[in-house]
Amino acid sequence: MIKTAEFVKSLVVKAIDEGMPPPNAPSTVDQKGSNHPLVDTGEMRNSIEYRIDGNTIRVGFFDEQSALKAVVNNYGVPGKIPARPFMSATIDEHIDDISKVLMNEMADKILERVK
């Protein structure tokens, strides 16, 4: 399940790196010094982790500060911050690819056991 977890993590990192519309407001650009949505210091991006517990893969933000930033950015704050669904939209967009990686990883595990 490690390959699948790493693949999902890489998709989320790529979504952050590529940015997510809409662009930052001019006041945000002035404050941050850049117009890269989802990246300020890089702390949130760098804190993406995965955890595997049995047959469950969780990819996300496990420290409270980064998790809060991720939720606010993913879902937005009405009237203040637009939603930039970098987690949910990325997973939805790539669900077939994620499924293929998972199926291949499971097939490899099964083949290892029957050898």
Burial bucket for residue 2 (CB in 10 Å: 0-12, 13-18, 19+): exposed
pLDDT higher than 90, residue 34: no
* 13-22, 25-34, 71-80: range with lowest mean pLDDT: 25-34
**What's the rounded Cα separation, in Å, for the pair 33 and 24?**
11
**What's the rounded Cα separation, in Å, for the pair 88 and 92?**
6
Q: What would the pLDDT profile of 76-87 be if each residue is shown by its tens digit?
A: 999 999 999 999
pTM of the model: 0.88
Are the beta carbons of 72 and 61 closer than 8 angstroms? no
Backbone φ and ψ of 37, nearest 5°: -60, 145
The mean pLDDT of 11-29, rounded to a whole number, is 90
pLDDT higher than 90, residue 99: yes
pLDDT higher than 80, residue 115: no
List strand residue ranges (DSSP E) for 1-115, in order: 48-53, 56-61
